Amino acid sequence: MPSPTPRAFPATRLRRNRASDFSRRLVRENQLAPDNLIYPVFVLEGEGQRESVPSMPGVERLSVDLLVEQAAELVELGIPAIALFPVVAAEKKNLSGSGAWDSDGLAQRAVRALKQAFPELGVITDVALDPFTTHGQDGIIDNDGYVMNDVTVEALVNQALSHADAGADVVAPSDMMDGRVAAIREALEAAGHVNTRILAYSAKYASSYYGPFRDAVGSAGNLGKGNKSTYQMDPANADEAIHEVAMDLAEGADMVMIKPGMPYLDIVHRVKSELQVPTFVYQVSGEYAMHMAAAENGWLDGDAVMMESLMAMRRAGADGILTYFAVRAARLMREQRR
């Protein structure tokens, strides 16, 4: 990076451009808009069903009919995409997670309903087995509880194809198995889904920030005291993330994800600056829960820290942000434009 032009006080007063709102806006280096937001949602079986998630104040699990109603506001606010996470009943879980590719499964039905009602809304589906397995792992395990890579990839291909067949615009493998992007891309091409995009969770860390999400989808009890450290990344590693992203791109990923968000903005910045590809970040459930807890206790200004956190992700290089704040942030931006 070239060195900045030499500047000295008082010829240069960097506060000059900060003196008025108009000049602060004119020289602002990064912008945040609804176009940058993706809304993650939890979908339930049944009709007219709505359940609060206690560890995520303001977040609800919704049945498909209510989800479609909520999607109308997303379209009106200009939020370009929704990310689906099914809440799977215990009786539909098994060791292999085979419910993941049921053509009449909850995720598949939700995709069809959303695309029928709002064809212009991008629908992103989660490709991973953890909501469907009795053990809560993202893949198929051996007798020792180790997640087997290659047999899991076969299952993920089936899941991704079922989502694409239902009309998903983007399939998002979040499992962190080696080689799954190439296998999914090959299968999509062979099935004629040439424009189905792959959003690869390329740098997904074995983080402690995921707890409320697992409560929301009902996998926390299945996982118990287990962990995912044999396939998700070590939080101490940064260079490895660049290798993971580069491999997924080489295998056919159209966009890449870093997860979690704020604790890993160094990774977001490196991926965007070094690889210069569409880079997304997930402001995960634990980040959301911390912000909400502080705001509800009056320790922080909820709207202000929400917007600051999202702008920080944009500043780091994120093109898209999966955030449970998407609707609230988009509403606030609309109010500020008036």
Pairing of strands 170-173, 279-283: unpaired
Q: Using CB atoms within 10 Å of the CB of residue 156, give its burial: 0 to 12 exposed, 13 to 18 middle, 19+ buried.
A: buried
CB 166 within 8 A of CB 124: no
CB 126 within 8 A of CB 85: yes
Per the structure block, which two tokens stand in for 51? 């359940």
What span, in angstroms and rounded, lies between the C-alpha atoms of 241 and 101? 29
What span, in angstroms and rounded, lies between the C-alpha atoms of 250 and 183? 12
What span, in angstroms and rounded, lies between the C-alpha atoms of 95 and 106? 18
Selection from 123, 31, 54, 34 nearest residue 325 by Cα: 34
Beta-carbon contacts of 38 under 8 Å, excluding residues fewer than 6 positions away, are 79, 80, 81, 82, 83, 122, 124, 280, 320, 321, 322, 323, 326
Residues annotated as part of the active site: 204, 259
Q: Using CB atoms within 10 Å of the CB of residue 228, give its burial: 0 to 12 exposed, 13 to 18 middle, 19+ buried.
A: buried
For CA atoms 282, 288, 290, 295, the dihedral sign is positive
**3-class DSSP state of 119:** coil
